[in-house]
Every structure is written in structure tokens, then in C-alpha cells.
Amino acid sequence: MPRTAGTVTPKYRQHRASGQAIVTIAGRDCYLGPWKSKASKVEYDRLIGEWLASGRPTTLAPSIPDLTITELAIAYVKYAASFYVKNGAQTNEVDCIKSAVRIVRKRYGATTAATFSPLSLKALQQAMVDEGWSRGFINRQIGRVKRMFRWGVSEDMVQVTTWQTLTAVTGLKRDKTKAREPAPIGPVADLVVETTLPYLSTTVADMVRLQRLTGCRPGEVCAIRPCDVDTSGKVWSYRPQSHKTEHFGRARIIFIGPKAQDVLRPYLLRGADECCFQPPRGGANGRYDTRSYGHAIQRRVARINRDRQKVDADAELLPHWSPNQLRHAAATEIRQQFGLEAAQVALGHSNANVTQIYAERDMGLANRVMEQVG
């Protein structure tokens, strides 16, 4: 009975021109060392064992010395797309990784991963500075490049020494680089919010009101569902299905006071597992996300400014603002009225390692704050 391709075990044989032992696996010649030497036979057994374990493939991935940055990057993005998933949707980390990978491939795509050195990584840092990226973002992107190489080591695609040398490259330091420092995010003035509200859709306006009153994160106001809200007390409590600090093992509870309850109440009539705030045309997954929520506000601010300029070219323009600034505004108000500790616990900034006693105290304090503020 004839054998089919891929079922025959490749043979150990002599390469007469070089005197080396050789085996051809999936169309690739692999040199093993001196013909009939013990080392060559050990290498032969290793390669054949890996080939059999991988299901007798008819083509092989590039060997470690031949793997290019482009090949490593493509494989890593594919992995990241399936790994960085939360509640069935890819997280923003995937887009950040793609951005980092794009600039690496642009400059080093044809370079082999084995020859990518600390100097290469420093040159990449400078390229990011030249792109106008902020110092903090550059440091995070360089960290993602390092993680790509670390992942390559775990997949036997990159030599461990290559990744280890890259870890010696430190992040850019404040006042030691030409990379720009972004202005810190500050609170948005209530007058600016009140001016914007009439231009927003009813749903987005209520999202803004709820976020301003509770100080929750943009993602938390987008994700709120009736089943996540306990309405049994004088102050309601909202436990997000997922939140930014859940990987620290800390619970997240957002307290909803009387004013915020009036905003949220009509939206609790939706199905228990439906998002309370939904765009008119469905949107992604039938809900707002942080991007579409922010864009809805920014578009309306731009419209307000266009309308003002039509009337008066020298009119004062409304500053552009984002949902994150509502959280900062809430923090500022709570801190002014109740102190720093109250702002920390009400907005979920407590340390993840606090004791149970402190956790109970935090919840009680946050409850009392929102009874008056929210």
C-alpha cells in the first residue's frame, strides 16, 4: 500500500559536500553536525520528536535564527486578539499592541528577531518620540514590544537571551527626554457640562448626569444593567460585572444617591441583562462603549462651536472635554466637601490590600457621601 506524503519519517543521512549529517523535514534541510557523531544523532532525534509531536506538518515555521520581526509580530497580534478579551469583546489593549507592532514592523520588519538588540529598541524609542507620542505612552508601547519578545520566548520562536537583553532598556525619564509631557486631565467645569447637555441625545445626557453625580468611570456608566443595581436601600449600590481593578481581587461598588437615582430609574425598566443606556441604532453589541460615548460628546461640542462661530467669528468657544473629566469633577467636589479619604473611597481608589475592617469603613463612608452628593 503506497504511503501518503507526510507519513514517512525523514531519514538521517550524509551531506557529502560538507561532511555534515542532515535531515530534510517538511522541505527544509536541517544540518545536525558531523556525520555519525553522537551530537548529530541527538539533534536528529530532537527534531524528529518535535516534528512528530506537532502532527507531522508539511511546512515548518521559520527556525529561530531566521524568524523575522514581521513574522513574530503577526503571530503575536493573532495571540493578543484572542487573549485580551473581556466579556466577549476585545479590550483596548489589542489596539495598543497593533499600534506598537505597526511602528516596529515599519522600521525593522525584515530584520530577524535574533538580531534585534537593545540599540534597536532605543532607536525605536526615538522613532516614537519623533512621531510626537507622549513619554508615558512611549514607555507603555516599549513595554508591549518587550512583552512580544517574551511571548516569543515562551513559544520557542525567540532565543531567551534576545528578550533578556531588551529588558536592560529602561523607560524614558521625565526631564531626560524630548518626548512631550501631556497636560494632566482636569475636571470639566459644570457650566461647560450644562451648556453641552441640551445638544446631547436624551440617553447620552443622562449618562453624563449619572457619571457626574456618582464619579463612576466611563466604562462603568456604559455597562450598567438593571441586574447590577441593588435598589433596596436608601442609597442604591451598583456592582459592575467587570471593572478596571478586578484583577487585583478588589470588589467595586458604586453608590447611587437620590439625584442619580432619578436619572437612572427609567432605564431600569429594561431587561435585567440589558445595558441601561443604548444608542438609537444599536451600536456595537447594542450598547455604548467608551469610544462611542466620548465621540457623542465631542461631536456635539464641535457643533456648538460651529454654531457660535456662524453668529460671531470671535465668539468664545466651548472647550473640548471627555467623559473622564466628569469623574475628575466629581472627585474634586467630594474632596472639597468631605476630604481626600472620602474622594478615594467614593471613586474606588482605595488600595487593593486594605484589611476587611478598612473595607467596611470605606463602604460606609462612600454610602454617606453619595447620600448627600449623588
Closest CA to 238 of 258, 216, 219, 262: 216
Q: Which residues pair with 20 in a beta bridge?
A: 15, 34
Cα 290 to chain centroid, rounded: 13
Which pLDDT value is given to residue 119?
A: 93
What is the per-residue pLDDT for 243? Answer: 52
pTM: 0.61
User: Residue 366: what pLDDT?
Assistant: 65
Neighbour-count burial of 373, counting CB atoms closer than 10 A to its CB (0-12 exposed, 13-18 middle, 19+ buried): buried
Residues 146, 113: Cα–Cα separation, whole Å: 12
Question: What is the Cα–Cα distance from 52 to 168, expressed in whole angstroms?
Answer: 37
10-residue stretch averages of pLDDT, the chain, 374 residues long:
60 83 85 86 88 81 74 92 83 91 91 90 92 92 96 89 93 88 83 94 95 91 93 91 56 88 94 90 73 93 91 88 88 78 67 33 60 70
Residue 70 exposure: Cα atoms within 13 Å on the Cβ side: 7
Instruction: State the pLDDT at residue 86.
Output: 77
pLDDT, residue 133, reads 92
Q: Which CATH number fits domain 190-373: 1.10.443.10, 3.30.230.70, 1.10.1740.10, 3.40.50.1370?
A: 1.10.443.10
CATH class of 65-166: mainly alpha
Q: Where along the chain do the CATH 1.10.443.10 domains lie? A: 190-373
Secondary structure class of 231 (helix, strand, coil) = coil
Within the chain, where are the H helices? 38-53, 69-83, 92-108, 118-130, 135-154, 160-166, 190-196, 202-214, 218-223, 258-264, 290-311, 323-338, 340-346, 356-373
Residues of the chain within CATH 1.10.150 domain(s) are 65-166
Estimate to the nearest angstrom the gap between the alpha carbon of 238 and the chain centroid.
24
